[in-house]
Amino acid sequence: MKYHLITLGCQMNISDSERVSAVLERMGYERTENEEEANLLGMLACSVRQKPIDKVYNKIARWNRWKNKKNLITFISGCILPADKEKFLKLFDIVFPMSELGELPEMIRNYGVVNAASLQALTPNMPKNEHIVDMWHIKPKYQSTYEAFVPIQNGCDKFCTFCAVPYTRGREVSRPSEDILKEIQHLVNQGYKSITLLGQNVNSYGLDKNGEEIGFVELLKQIGEFGRLSGEEFWVYFTSPHPQDMGRDVIEVISQYECLAKQIHLPMQSGDEKVLIKMNRRHSMEKYRKIVKDVRDLIPQATLFTDIIVGFTGESEKEFQNTVAAMDEFKFNMAYIAMYSPRPGAASYRWQDEVSQDDKKDRFHRLSEVMKTHTRQYNEGMIGKTLRLLVNGTDRKTGYSTGLTEGKLTVRLDHVAPELMGEIVDVKITSAADFSLSGELVEVKEKVVS
C-alpha cells in the first residue's frame, strides 16, 4: 500500500508532516510522489491564506472523481479554521486535528468515522491544544539528512487582528525542553547541519508553564552549550519571534555561541504606528528599532529578515510610505511581503477591506523594488569575501550546485558538486545579483570573513 501526502503552508506544517509520514510508514504504507498510484491520499492544509485553501478544494475534487474507478481513502489535517474543517467533513473521509495524530491508524482502519474529539474540534471554538505534546512524542521521518525542523511551541496568544493562527492552532503550548534538547542532540550526532526551532511565537516559549519550564533564553543557552561541547559545526535558527517579547538577552546569547546562527527573522508587518495598533501587534516602531540596534551592535554580521503586509484594511498612502521609510532605515536582507487578504476567524475579517486590489498590487511592487535596492547593495558588498556555505541543492537554470550561508543568503557555485550535498564548505563570492550570490569553492580553508 502506498500513500501520497501534500503539505501546504509554513515550516510548522512541514514539521508536522514528518510525523504523519512516520505514523503511516509504521502502518506499512510506502510513500509515493505519484498521487495516482497511492491508496491513501492526504493533505496538511493551511487556512492562514486563501490560496492554500483553494488548492485543497481543487485537489479533493480530483481525488473524489478517482473514487469512481478505485478504492481510495482521503484525509486532511493541519492548520485549519473551524469553518473550513466543517466543509472538509463532507469532502474527505477523515478529518482530524494534529493533536490526535496518534489515533490516525485507528481512523484509517475505520475510515469515514470521525471520533467525538475530532467532531468537538470542528466547532467554532478555538481548537483544544492540550494533546499536542502527545503528537510531539512521535519520532518524525525527516525529509532531509542535513536539515531539520524542531517544534518547540504550538499556538499563539497574541491575536493579531489579521491572523487566524490562534483559531487554527489554539493557545500557546510549550514542548518540554528535555525533549527538545534530546532531539537536537540526536540530530547533531547524526550529522545534521541546519536545525530550525519552530513556533508561532518562539520567544514566549515556557511562559505557559508558570515557572515549571525554562524560558527561551535559557533554552538557547543550553543548545549553545551543547554545541560548544560537541565540537561539531551546525547552525541553529528559530522562527518566528515576536518583537513584543524580543529582548536584548536573546541577542546576547546568540552572540556568545557559534552554533546559534547569525540570522534574525523579525516580523515587522508595518512601519506605521497607527497600522501596528490596528493590527494589534503590541509593539511600537521605537521598540522594533531598539531590537534592530541591539542586533547591529552585538552581532553586526547577522542578516535581518522580516515579514510585511501591504494594503491592510484602511492603510493610507501616507501610512504605506512609513513602511517604505522603515525598509530604507533597516535595509533588510529579505522581506517576505504579502498583500493583505481577510481571513475568516481573524478580527479584521469583520472590517471593510478598504484598500483596492490594484492599490495592494502597486504597493507590493513598489516595496519589492525598494527591497531589491538594499539586497543588491548588501550582496555586492560580499564580493571577494569567503563565506561558509551549506550546499543544499541545484540551480534550476544552470544545474550548478547551490547553498545557503549562515545568514541564509543563496549562493550558486560555479560548478556541479553533488558530492558536497549537505556539507558546509568555504566559498569565495565572485558576483552578486538582487537576491543571490555566486561563488567558487575554496579548496584550502581560508579565514571566514563575515
3-state secondary structure of 215: coil
Closest-CA residue to 1 (of 33, 26, 30, 23): 30
pLDDT at site 415: 87
The string of pLDDT tens digits covering residues 270-289 is: 999 999 999 999 999 999 99
Size of the chain, expressed as the number of residues it contains: 450
The side-by-side arrangement of strands in the sheet containing 73-79 is 30-31, 2-7, 40-46, 73-79, 94-95
Q: From the CB of residue 350, how many other CB atoms can be counted at a distance below 10 Å?
A: 10
Q: 560555479: which residue's cell?
A: 414
- Which own/partner pairs from 294-302 qualify as long-range (CB within 8 Å, at least 24 positions apart)? 294/248, 294/251, 295/251, 295/264, 295/266, 298/248, 298/251, 298/252, 298/254, 298/255, 299/251, 299/254, 299/255, 299/262, 299/264, 301/262, 301/407, 301/450, 302/254, 302/262, 302/263, 302/264, 302/407
Please name the amino acid found at residue 216: F
Task: Write out the three cell numbers for 11.
Answer: 515550516
Whether pLDDT at 115 is above 50: no
Q: Alpha carbon of 114 to those of 80, 107, 120: distances in Å?
A: 16, 7, 10
The CATH superfamily holding the domain 386-441 is Nucleic acid-binding proteins (2.40.50.140)
Q: Tell which wins on pLDDT, 111 or 208.
A: 208
Contact between 386 and 442 (Cβ < 8 Å): yes
Largest CA distance in the chain: 64
User: Which pLDDT does position 397 carry in this prediction?
Assistant: 82
Q: Which three cell numbers stand for residue 303?
A: 542578516
**In this model, does residue 446 exceed pLDDT 50?**
no
> Is a pLDDT exceeding 60 seen at residue 117?
no
Question: Which amino acid is located at 72 in the chain?
Answer: L
> Which sequence spans correspond to the domains of the chain?
2-121, 386-441
pLDDT given for residue 161 in this prediction: 94
Decide if pLDDT at 450 tops 50: no
At residue 95, does pLDDT exceed 50?
yes
Query: Is residue 61 scored above 80 in pLDDT?
Result: yes
pLDDT interval class at 129 (50, 70, 90): low
Question: Which of the following CATH numbers is that of domain 2-121: 3.40.50.880, 3.40.50.720, 3.30.420.40, 3.40.50.12160?
Answer: 3.40.50.12160
Residue 119 predicted with pLDDT over 70 = no
Query: What digits encode the pLDDT tens for the residues 347-379?
Result: 998 999 999 999 999 999 999 999 999 999 999
For residues 444 and 160, the model is more confident at 160
